[in-house]
Amino acid sequence: MLRQDAERFMLGKYLSDKKIPWQRRRRLGMTVAGNTPTASFLTKIGMMQSAGCWLCKTAQEARGESTDGLADETHGHINNAGCEGMATTVTAALHSIWRHLYDSMHAAQKPKSKHKFVTLDQESNMSTVWRRKSF
Ligand SMILES: [Zn+2]
């Protein structure tokens, strides 16, 4: 999404694809427009009293901690691992994306390439890499 013009092209393609359910396209459109119905947005338009994240509040209350100074519930907040209620889910999603990216890079690797993916199916550290490679 950092490539110039690529993100707008992909966004337009997604939003105009009739095969994708309307609810998903509408949700993405709301996100891009910055009006996702989060507590922050609802507070901004006068529909809620507090912009504090209820997921973080629930997690802090479960631990018996104070809920003072809660982070604002914004789209960015609930979609990153900093939100206490979403951290596990967001981390799992990021790991899944990484695994897919890693598998795709491995599948696209040319047979004659000297570069090897050392951690495709298992964790590696310098000790295990050293044992596999004969110098
Ligand atoms: Zn949160």
Q: Which of 4, 3, 26, 98 is nearest to 14 (CA)?
A: 26
Quote the ligand 1 centre to 31 CA distance (angstroms).
17
Q: Find out whether 81 and 87 touch, Cβ atoms under 8 Å.
A: yes
pLDDT of residue 23: 94
pLDDT digits (tens, 9 = 90+) for 63-87: 999 989 999 999 889 888 889 999 9
Q: In angstroms, what is the span from residue 1 Cα to ligand 1's centroid?
A: 25
| Distance from the Cα of residue 63 to its chain's centroid | 25
Please determine, for residue 60, whether its predicted confidence score (pLDDT) is greater than 80.
yes
Q: How many Å lie between the centroid of ligand 1 and the Cα of residue 133?
A: 45
Cα-to-centroid distance, 35 and ligand 1 (Å): 18
pTM for this structure?
0.62
* pLDDT, tens digit, 9 for 90 and up, residues 83-132: 999 999 999 998 899 888 888 888 888 888 777 666 656 666 777 767 76
Question: CA 77, CA 75: separation in Å to the nearest integer?
Answer: 5
